Amino acid sequence: MAASAVERVLARVKGEGIEVVDLKFVNLFGGWHHISVPLSQVDASLFSEGIAFDGSSVPGFKSLEAGDMLLLADPATAARDPFWDRPALSMIAQPVEADTKAPFARDPRAILAKADALLAASGIATGSLWAPEFEFYIFDAVTYLNDINTAMYRIDSAEADWNSAVGPDSNLGYKIPRQGGYHASPPLDQLFNLRAEMVAELEAAGIPVRYHHHEVGGPGQSEIEVLEQPLRAAADNALRVKYIIKMTAVRHKKTVTFMPKPLYNEAGSGMHFHQRLMKGPRNLFWDPKGYAGLSKLALQYIAGQLVHAPALLAFTNPSTNSYKRLVPGFEAPVKTIFGLANRSAAIRIPKYADTAATKRFEFRPPDATCNVYLAMAAQLLAGLDGIRRRLDPSQLGFGPYDVNVFALPEAEKARLGSLPTSLREAMLALEADHEFLLAGDVFSRELIAAWIHAKIEDEYNAVRNRPHPYEISLYFDA
C-alpha cells in the first residue's frame, strides 16, 4: 500500500534528521505567523489534532473572549527551511475552530479553497493556472521613525545615483540613473549574485522560476518571475517566495521591501497576476481566431474583472501606499482597459504568449501588500461573474486599446473608466459592489464589512490624520 502524505512527511522528518517542524499561517491581512514544534512532539496528531494557539492575538481573527483555535499542518506544503541553524522542515498550517475543527470563516486560505471549489462546481473549468510576478527593492539600509514630534525615513542603496560621490563606500561611478535600471547588467547591477542565490533557494523549495533581472528602479529594484501553478499552490508559493527573498537578503545584511512605492519619483513595485482557466489539459482562454488569440470565454472573464476593478482593488491594492504607485508615468495602470502587449492597460495580453499552451492575460494593478489568498479569490470570482453574465468588454467600452493610454487626447482619456486613486475610494467601491464575492459563500458580508472598517479606520484615517513631513516644508512658515 502506498504511504499517505502524512506518512511520507514523518518518514522525511526521520530520514533527513529534522529537529524542528515550523508551522506557518496567514492572518486576515496577509502577514505570516509561525509556531515551531520540536522533534519530540512531531507525530501524526500534528495533522489531525493540531496545535493550539490564541486567535485573539492574530490580526483579523478572533475576539478575546473566544480566542482558542487549532492549527492543522498541511503535509502537501512540506519543504526544508534553509534559514534555520538546526535542520528544519516548514509546512503551511490551516487555522480551524478548536471545538469542531471546522474551517475558520476568516481564514484566507480556506476562502481561496472555496473559490477553487466554486470554479470546479460551475462546470466552466476544472481548474486555473496562476503566476504572480514579484517586484521588490533590495536596500542596504533603512531607518524610519514616527512620533508626536518626529516623522522621518531614510533609505540607502549602493546602486543609487545619490551615492556616486559619497564616502569610501561610494559606487565608484557605476550608478544607475533614476528609472534606468531595467535589465541593467553588471557592474551596474550589483545584485545579480544575491538574486541568483534567492532563485537557488526558491527552486530548492520546489518553486519553479522563469527568470530574474534588475528592474526599472535604479536603487536596487529587482524582479523574480515564477512559472504557473494551480490556484492554491500559486497562492501558497507566493508567501513562500516573499519569505525566501526576504530571508536571503537578511543573510547578507540587506533588507527587502515589497512596498508598492518606497521611493518618490522612482518606479513602483507591483504584483501582476498572470492567469487562465483550464478544462483538463485544455486552455479555455485560447482561440486562434479571436482578438489576440483569446476565446469568447476569456473576453467575458476579462470583462468581469474590469467591471468590478474598482472593488477588486480593495483586495488587490489594500494599502494607502498602493495608490502612490498607480499614477501616470511609471508603467502602472490607471484606466480600466485591456489590450495586446499594452503596459498602460489594467489588463495586458502578452504578445509572446501566442499558443494554446501559453495563452493568458495579466491583471496589472495588484501589489504585494495584498493578502494573496483574498486577492486571487476576488479576481477569480470577478472573472466568473463576467462569464455568468456573458459580458462583452468591447461593448462595455473597455477596449481593446493597443495604444499608450497616457498619450491619448485628454477628452478621450476622460471617457475611460478609472481605477480608484486612494484606499478610501477602493473601499467605498467594495462597499457598493460586492455581490459577486458572495457567490458560493466564498466571501461573507461580515468579512467584507470588517475588511472595509479596518482599512479605513486603522490605515487610511491613521495616515490622513498625521502631519506629513512634506507639509512642514510647504506650510511651516504660514
List residues with catalytic annotation: 54, 133, 135, 215, 223, 272, 343, 362, 364
Which 3-state string (H, E, C) describes the chain? Answer: CCCCHHHHHHHHHHHCCCCEEEEEEECCCCCEEEEEEEHHHCCCHHHHCCEEEEHHHCCCCCCHHHCEEEEEECHHHCEECCCCCCCEEEEEEEEEECCCCCECCCCHHHHHHHHHHHHHHHCCCCEEEEEEEEEEEEECEEEEEEECCEEEEEEECCCCHHHCCCCCCCCCCCCCCCCCCCCCCCCCCCCHHHHHHHHHHHHHCCCCEEEEEECCCCCCEEEEEECCEEHHHHHHHHHHHHHHHHHHHHHCCCEEECCCCCCCCCCCCCCCEEEEEEECCEECCECCCCHHHECHHHHHHHHHHHHCHHHHHHHHCCCCCHHHHCCCCCCCCCECCEEECCCCCCEEECCCCCCCCCCCEEECCCCCCCCHHHHHHHHHHHHHHHHHCCCCCCCCCCCCCCCCHHHCCHHHHHHCCECCCCHHHHHHHHHHCCHHHHHHHCCCHHHHHHHHHHHHHHHHHHHHCCCCHHHHHHHCCC
